[in-house]
């Protein structure tokens, strides 16, 4: 029987890295993506179209984020990949391994050690620093798509700051349900100009984008869009004056592993015992808390 480690090594040997450019993409592609990223940084919250490449993973599985990551990587970089807070889910592992094999750079599970963090549906609990870049995978970059199907129209709406249709859906939600029922991917106003979809992160994480120290890049591979929130940018969730924005509440709950009471918790249903238990969604953070407690 081979250990997992040996299997990985065998795998590495069969993969002919010399056939590929450093970090998989050719330099021309990387340059295009970096140029578009710069434009996105220059216009916070604005969706910049880019020529999304064919990737060795399916569209909709993080190709946008992956292309951003690969275009940003230098040989000194350390990468962390998370999938819904998890470092060791299949998706995260596959993307991490692809990057390792085509670039040979170091990867980590420690948030603080990573220079680039690619994530799906979560922002790490640990506050990111100014020299870190967060790359988020985005399924639907257009926040107005729910209210307007035509791209032609939504572009005009952004250009003219015509956001009344978006506000109208929030209003309707209040009239019907008494509160705004949007959970993940809660629309935000970036730098008092563009309404932006923050990717399907929970409301809990939305506030981490406001005046953050780090750069956040958003990549939508299928929809071919890149957008960004530069450090120290105002990011305000849409809210009415009498219906303020609220994050998920975990009042009185704590993580079953680390006991943390101020992290985003996942629900786990124990069918046998018939009870619901909670645990940190950010596994790296949870492990760190456990080690600190000892």
User: Mind telling me the catalytic residues?
Assistant: 45, 255, 258, 280, 286
Of 67-75, 212-220, 237-245, 263-271, the segment contacting another protein by CB under 8 A is 237-245
Instruction: Please list the residues that pair with 123 across neighbouring strands.
Output: none
The CB-of-140 to another protein minimum distance in angstroms stands at 22
- Taking the least distance from each CB to another protein, the nearer of 51 and 168 is 168
The CB-of-241 to another protein minimum distance in angstroms stands at 4
Determine, following the binding rule CB under 8 A, whether residue 156 of this chain makes contact with another protein.
yes
Of 3-11, 98-106, 109-117, 236-244, the segment contacting another protein by CB under 8 A is 236-244
Q: Which of 57, 112, 165, 247 binds another protein (CB under 8 A)?
A: 165
The CB-of-147 to another protein minimum distance in angstroms stands at 10
**Four-CA torsion 138, 233, 30, 221, nearest 10 degrees:** 10
Gap between the Cα atoms of 232 and 229, Å rounded: 8
Helical (H) or strand (E) element with 120: strand 116-120
- Taking the least distance from each CB to another protein, the nearer of 8 and 234 is 234
Question: Residues 115, 132: contact at Cβ < 8 Å?
Answer: yes
Helix, strand, coil content of the chain in percent (nearest 5) = 35, 20, 45
- Taking the least distance from each CB to another protein, the nearer of 232 and 240 is 240
Bin 77: left if φ > 0, else alpha if -120 < ψ < 50, else beta: beta
Query: What are the structure tokens assigned to 117, written together?
Result: 């963090």
Gap between the Cα atoms of 237 and 215, Å rounded: 18
Determine, following the binding rule CB under 8 A, whether residue 57 of this chain makes contact with another protein.
no
Helices 90-103, 63-72: inter-axial angle, 10-degree rounding: 30
Gap between the Cα atoms of 165 and 50, Å rounded: 27
Q: Which of 27, 172, 246, 248 binds another protein (CB under 8 A)?
A: 172
- Taking the least distance from each CB to another protein, the nearer of 20 and 171 is 171
Of 57-65, 159-167, 197-205, 285-293, the segment contacting another protein by CB under 8 A is 159-167
Q: Between the CA of residue 149 and those of 8, 12, 43, 48, what are the distances in Å?
A: 45, 45, 24, 19
Determine, following the binding rule CB under 8 A, whether residue 168 of this chain makes contact with another protein.
yes
Determine, following the binding rule CB under 8 A, whether residue 181 of this chain makes contact with another protein.
no
Determine, following the binding rule CB under 8 A, whether residue 152 of this chain makes contact with another protein.
no
Q: Which of 152, 242, 251, 272 binds another protein (CB under 8 A)?
A: 242
Determine, following the binding rule CB under 8 A, whether residue 179 of this chain makes contact with another protein.
no
Q: Quick one: which of 227, 190, 244, 196 has its CA closest to 212?
A: 190
Give residues in contact with another protein (CB under 8 A). Answer: 156, 159-165, 167-168, 171-172, 174-175, 240-243
């Amino acid at each position: 029987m081979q250990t997992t480690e040996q299997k990985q090594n065998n795998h590495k040997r069969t993969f002919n890295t010399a056939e590929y450019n450093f970090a998989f993409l050719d330099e021309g592609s990387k340059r295009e993506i970096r140029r578009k990223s710069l434009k996105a940084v220059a216009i916070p919250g604005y969706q910049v179209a880019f020529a999304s490449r064919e990737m060795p993973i399916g569209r909709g599985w993080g190709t946008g984020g992956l292309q951003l990551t690969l275009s940003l990587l230098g040989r000194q970089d350390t990468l962390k990949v998370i999938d819904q807070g998890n470092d060791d889910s299949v998706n995260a592992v596959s993307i991490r391994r692809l990057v390792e094999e085509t670039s040979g750079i170091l990867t980590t599970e420690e948030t603080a050690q990573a220079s680039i963090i690619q994530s799906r549906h979560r922002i790490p609990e640990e506050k990111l620093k100014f020299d870190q870049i967060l790359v988020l995978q985005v399924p639907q970059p257009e926040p107005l798509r729910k209210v307007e199907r035509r791209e032609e129209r939504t572009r005009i709406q952004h250009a003219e700051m015509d956001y009344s249709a978006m506000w109208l859906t929030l209003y309707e939600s209040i009239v019907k349900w008494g509160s705004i029922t949007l959970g993940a991917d809660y629309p935000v106003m970036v730098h008092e100009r563009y309404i932006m979809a923050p990717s399907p992160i929970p409301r809990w994480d939305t506030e981490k984008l406001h005046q953050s120290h780090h750069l956040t890049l958003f990549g939508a591979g299928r929809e071919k869009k890149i957008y960004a929130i530069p450090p120290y940018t105002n990011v305000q969730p849409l809210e009415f004056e009498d219906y303020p924005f609220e994050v998920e509440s975990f009042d009185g709950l704590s993580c079953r592993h680390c006991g943390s009471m101020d992290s985003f918790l996942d629900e786990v249903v124990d069918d046998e015992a018939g009870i619901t238990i909670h645990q940190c969604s950010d596994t790296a953070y949870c492990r760190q808390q456990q080690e600190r407690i000892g």
